Amino acid sequence: MEDTEKGCRKYVCKDCGGCLAKTRCTKGKNRQIQVNQQLDKYRSGMREKLNSEQGKKKYLERMSEVEAPFGNILYNQNARQFLCRGKPMIKIEFGLSCIAHNFVKIANWAKKDKKNREKLE
């Protein structure tokens, strides 16, 4: 065991073959595991916030407003990384992805109903 400069604790084992806790600890033959106590505190604090009534409500709002468009852009448009460099160009590229997402939403909305198509014309 050693402490790293980033506040992590590193556990290294030379031979996990005969260890009874191997299946709970690691998937590889010989492995090192890093544990960050500060990160664990942040995670547990965030878990408590999300499990509260106010946190659940806010999370549901976020899922309906933000997460679905991002998921669509990431997976359906296959936009997992930006092709341009620099903040101004990235803003433009992301804006184009958002416009494409909105066009798809409008097209799907218009397909659903004849009245919707008439509204667009």
Triad 36, 41, 44: Cα angle to 5°: 120
pLDDT in tens, 23-48: 777 766 667 777 787 888 889 999 99
Residue 58 belongs to a domain: no
> Residue 24's domain spans which residues?
2-41
Residue 90 belongs to a domain: yes
- Looking at the structure, do residues 72 and 115 belong to the same domain, yes or no? yes
Query: What would the mean pLDDT of 54-66 be, rounded to a whole number?
Result: 81
More confident residue, 54 or 79: 54
**Number of domains making up the chain:** 2
How many helices (H) does the chain have, and how many strands (E)? Answer: 6, 3
pLDDT confidence of residue 88:
92
